[in-house]
Structures are given as structure tokens and as C-alpha cells.
Amino acid sequence: MTTVKNIVFIGAGNVATQLALALHKKEYNILQVYSRTKRSALALAAEVKASPITRLSEITKDADIFIVSVADHALPKFSVQLYKKNGLVVHTSGFHSIDVLKGVSARCGVLYPLQTFSKEITVDFNKIPFCIEAKNKKDEKILKQLAGKLSSEVRIMNSESRKILHLAAVFACNYSNYMYCVAAEILKEKKIPFKILLPLIKETAAKAVSTCPCETQTGPARRGDRKVLNQHMKMIKDEDRRKLYKIISKQICKKYNS
Amino acid sequence: MTTVKNIVFIGAGNVATQLALALHKKEYNILQVYSRTKRSALALAAEVKASPITRLSEITKDADIFIVSVADHALPKFSVQLYKKNGLVVHTSGFHSIDVLKGVSARCGVLYPLQTFSKEITVDFNKIPFCIEAKNKKDEKILKQLAGKLSSEVRIMNSESRKILHLAAVFACNYSNYMYCVAAEILKEKKIPFKILLPLIKETAAKAVSTCPCETQTGPARRGDRKVLNQHMKMIKDEDRRKLYKIISKQICKKYNS
């Protein structure tokens, strides 16, 4: 089996940064880091001892694997701009099908780490699920090995399932975070420190982890307590928050009390 | 300063159960546990070596503190049914004002542990914030001491602030949990195990804890990625989920991209 050694990163955003750092630590050879933004290319390249590049034409043809890790909306554009490469070309998107890369290389694949990333917060990949996909068994093995170096949770998943998973992740991560955010704003207006909610947030997440979240739902809507719900609606002055409160409480009431 | 020793619990639900267990462990004397439901009264009373009672008339007049821990919708009814007691009477609700108890006893107060409780999951109260309130300084001290035996996070908070905090907690806990629940349902339909989302859920909560959640918001709506948002809307067939996705993504887009 071919072992991946030389890697090119196309993109220097949150996911690319964390992946490149982790692979560099595992002694993979990061040849180049491409970013349209010179500053981003320089910053990441310096950290992983790679060459920073800002033009797609400068990308080498010869690497074992090209990891295209750019924003979802940019991926189709990049794909058509990338020349045919000799190595395996993969993207890191939960949303896009493997086929977004089919014009780039016959050897294409997906390496999707299911996590929320920031450039600044270093990630321990060990428990992060990697969903991998490739067009042939040989490349699937290569990706399995590569992801396996970073994490113990590697699974083969097709594009259709990955897309569903990505949608579910938007609810579980982005939208739950937005609920925290609304809570933070409500408290801020009354000068109550957000810190006070942290044990509650931790416990809610911990419960979802240990049991099914549908079974651990609590609160006034879960109990169908109209009086509390109506009073809360009266307390909320912001129109967007009112809409949000109304629709979520209504759905919880419907699920548990009808 | 009077030290609380003898406690009566009115209610045997999630909050009452966890509080009574914790206080019993700290060697407080739980005299009685009242519940309308005989089974609940018996179960909790047995665990904390108290007398189970099912009639309000059986409640002793003489205890140091009466903890009324019943569902929010039932609290006003209970309050009028409780006779004048000699001790301090407190409720454990985030929602209700201290004044809901003013007919019961001149010495009334609030002991609100900010957490999501289940009967089955034993809680470590140590880091749980207790919001306390009393009508006089002496009783405030008594509550501070009592809560301080269970937790290092005790703060004095008036009814108005507590009500705001309770509303914020509904978003941060109940509604974020509902987002997990929607994610779990989406995955279940496609037979993808919910377990795969757990590292993401943990990390999202951990980030909210270490920074402000409004700063760590990620995802397609945060980036204003219309293409992903539109595709997600097409993927979601369930009408309620579509509504939910639409309103939340719209609000995130508005907050970060306008």
C-alpha cells in the first residue's frame, strides 16, 4: 500500500489550519500551503514548515495527497480551477459530494472531520470522527490510514449520508450555539454574567451524550406549562427572539404534550 | 445565627429529589416528604429517612425550613393551601417571584438551583449556582449558609433578575437540547448513530464556556452561505423542521452578515 508522505494544503482557514498542524505534528511533510490571502498562506506555512503560495498555478503536480479545505461556497470554483494532479485530491466538506472533485482527478476523495474549528483553538483530533470516502478501494485505504493517524474514530461514509450528517450537525452545533448566544444577550441586557449558565450548559450537553436528548428534554414547554410560556412571551421584547421562542416552544409542546 | 436542622420537603419531583438527597447526605434532618402521589412520597421519603405524607394537613408546623419544590404551574395553588408555618418557607422556582409565598409565611424566600434535574441522575451540587432571596437579612443568611453547604456558587438575586435568568436558561438548556433532539431525529431516519455527534456537542458547549458563544458561532448561516442554506432547506421534508431551520438561519445571517 502506498503510504502518504507529501501533502499540499489548498486553503488556510479553520479546518485547514487545524488539520495541517495535526498532520505536521505526526511528521507528515506539508509541501505547500495555498491561500488567496497572502497573510493566511504565510502564517500557516510558517507553522508547518511549508512553502506559502497564493497562485493556483504554483501548486506542484507531485504530492501524495492534495487536501482542498476551502469554504463550501468556494469549493466548486476551486475544483474547476485545479489542474489535473498526479496524487489523490480530497476535500474536507461535509456538505459537498465527492463528485465536486471529479473533474480534477480520477483519484478523488473526502476527508471530513466532524467538529467545529477555530484557527486559535488547538484541537485534539483523537476522538473526532473522520468520515472518509474515495472512488476506489486503494484510495479509501490511504485515507483510512491517514485519518487513523489522527483519530480512533474513522468511518467510511458516502456523500449522501455525509450530507445528512452535516445537516444534523448544523442543528446540534450551530443552532444550539445560537441558543447559547440568545441566552447570553438576554443576560447581558440585565448585566447578569453569562458565566452563571455554564454548569447548566455543560450538564445539558453531558446528558445528551449519556442518553438520547429527546428523552432528557425538560422545561416549561416540555411540561406544557402555558402560564410560564405566556409570561415568557410577555417578557421578551425583541421581535426576533419572540418568534424564536414561540416556534420552538410550540414544537416542543406538540412533541411531548399532544 | 439560627442553624437550619429540620427540613420538610413539599414536592417529590426532579428538583426536590436531588435537593433532598444532597441535604440528607450533608446530615440535615428531613422530617417529611409530601407528594400528592403516594408512590413518589414513599420513594423519596425512604431514601432520605423521612415520613412520607400525601395530605397537606399532615405537614408539621414546626420545622426550620419548608422547601416547596413543585411544578411552576402548581406553585400558586400550593401556596394558598399551605397554612401559616413557624419556619422559613422557600420555593425552588426560577420563574416565580418570592411573593408567591407571601400569604404562607412572613418568613419566605427562594432557593433556586440553576440546573436541569432528573430523578435518576444524581447531581453534584458543588458547582451549581444557587440563587437565593429572602424577605429579611436573617433569613438571607440562613439560606446562604444552607446553599453554601451544597455549593460554592451561591448568589443573592432578586425575583426580577431570577426571572430573566430563568428565561435565558430556557434558551441555553431546553432549546439547545431541542436542537440536539432534532439532530438525533434527522440521523435516526437515515440510521446514522447519534453517537457520532457527541464530540461536536461537547466541543460546542466547551467553547461557549471558554469564550462568548456569539463569538464562536460557526456554520453556513454564520458565513452567509446561501447555497448551503438553500440546499439544506430542500433536503428537509418535515414542515416543522423547515420552519425551525429557516427562522434560525435567517436570524444568524442577519446578526453576522448585515
When CB atoms are compared, the residue of A71, A217, A235 closest to B223 is A71
**What string of DSSP letters covers chain B?**
-----EEEEE--SHHHHHHHHHHHHTT-EEEEEE-SSHHHHHHHHHHTT-EEE--GGGS-S--SEEEE---TTTHHHHHHHSPP-SSEEEE--SSS-GGGGTTT-SSEEEEEE-S---SSS---GGG--EEEEESSHHHHHHHHHHHHHH-S-EEE--HHHHHHHHHHHIIIIIIHHHHHHHHHHHHHHTT--GGGGHHHHHHHHHHHHHS-TTTS--SHHHHT-HHHHHHHHHH---HHHHHHHHHHHHHHHHHHH-
Predicted confidence (pLDDT) per residue in B142-185, tens digit: 999 999 999 999 999 999 999 999 999 999 999 999 999 999 99
When CB atoms are compared, the residue of A72, A180, A221 closest to B208 is A180
- What string of pLDDT tens digits covers the 258 residues of chain A? 567 899 999 999 999 999 999 999 999 999 999 999 999 999 999 999 999 999 999 999 889 999 999 999 999 888 877 767 788 999 999 999 999 998 888 899 999 999 988 888 888 999 899 999 999 999 999 999 999 999 999 999 999 999 999 999 999 999 999 999 999 999 999 999 999 999 999 999 988 878 889 998 999 999 999 999 999 999 999 999 999 999 999 999 999 987
- Check if the interface score ipTM surpasses 0.90: yes
**What string of DSSP letters covers A155-189?**
EE--HHHHHHHHHHHIIIIIIHHHHHHHHHHHHHH
Any CB–CB contact under 8 A between A220 and chain B? yes
Question: pTM of the predicted model, to two decimals?
Answer: 0.92
Please name every residue paired with B65 in a beta bridge, in sequence order, or none if there are none.
Answer: B7, B88
A-chain residues near B77 (CB < 8 A) = none
Nearest residue on chain A to B196, alpha-carbon basis: A129
Contact B167 A248 (CB under 8 A): no
Handedness of CA B208, B213, B219, B223 (dihedral sign): negative
Contact B192 A227 (CB under 8 A): no
Please indicate whether residue A168 or residue B218 has the higher confidence score (pLDDT). Answer: A168
B-chain residues near A116 (CB < 8 A) = 200, 203-204, 207, 216, 218-219
Average pLDDT, integer, range B14-43: 96
A-chain residues near B115 (CB < 8 A) = 199-200, 203
Segment B156-159 long-range contacts (CB within 8 Å, at least 24 positions apart)? B156/B131, B156/B132, B157/B112, B157/B131, B157/B132, B157/B133, B158/B133, B159/B96, B159/B97, B159/B98, B159/B99, B159/B110, B159/B133
Contact B174 A116 (CB under 8 A): no
